[in-house]
Amino acid sequence: MAEKELKNIALLIDADNIKPQGIDPVLTVMAELGQVNIKRAYGNFAKTNLSKWDKISHKFGILPQQQFDLTAGKNATDMAMTIDAIDLLYQGKVDGFGIMSSDSDFAPLATRLRQDGLIVYGFGEKKTPDAFKSACTRFIDIDALIAGASDEPSQSKSNNGKAKATIDDELVELLGTAWKAANRDDEGFAQMGEVGSLAGNRSSFDVRNYGFKRLSDLFQSLDQFKVERRDNTLWVKRLR
């Protein structure tokens, strides 16, 4: 990709409630969108539990934004992140955002940024409220990212190496609904890329939350779908 084509991406990190171990795989994902030129972490770094951010910040070129706890019960970190994000939005120099937090308070911010046509990737723990997950273009489970980036065998993988993450009826229905909405041929097959795009438009769905790196791997693990390769294109059909 030529330098002039690289998009300017901002990563804003709620250090008060996110794991610093996830920074490396998160930056790898953010590279899908463009060049992450703005990297800021917000929190009260005077606290013992945030001490690891010192080395992390230097290693990845993250600019710490110190927020003191001036009033009990008030979250200065959330406010500072929101103000900075809106400032970046109105400067018009950012093409997309990454927000690392498990806090539903950032749902309105993600919604506002997307209203201006910006892509917003959210990164947090599985317990993150649905309000924030749904507000993001994509929401990705940081624990799944960390596990996927590790060279160690994951407990979430079966003996044949396939991910064994929790795949519930809701996910199958989401993919099934997207398949129904896609253009299908006479045999009922739809292009997998179109099905994936439709699923992404309906929710913050991302295959990495289920331990897979590619959409094709996810579909091939599901008994409810059949996958066919035609030339260089993958097609999928729901069986049941």
pLDDT higher for 217 or 12? 12
CATH of the domain at 208: 3.30.420.610
Give CA–CA dist 182/197, Å, rounded: 10
Let me know whether 19 and 48 are in one domain: yes
pTM (2 d.p.)? 0.73
Residue 76 lies in a domain: yes
Tens of pLDDT along 33-72?
889 999 999 988 888 888 888 888 888 999 989 887 655 4
Calculate mean pLDDT across residues 149-157: 47
Residue 158 lies in a domain: no
Let me know whether 193 and 74 are in one domain: no
Query: Is residue 77 scored above 60 in pLDDT?
Result: yes
Mean pLDDT for all residues in the chain:
83
Let me know whether 7 and 41 are in one domain: yes
Instruction: Give residue 86's pLDDT.
Output: 96
Let me know whether 9 and 118 are in one domain: yes
Domain extent, residue 42, equals: 3-149
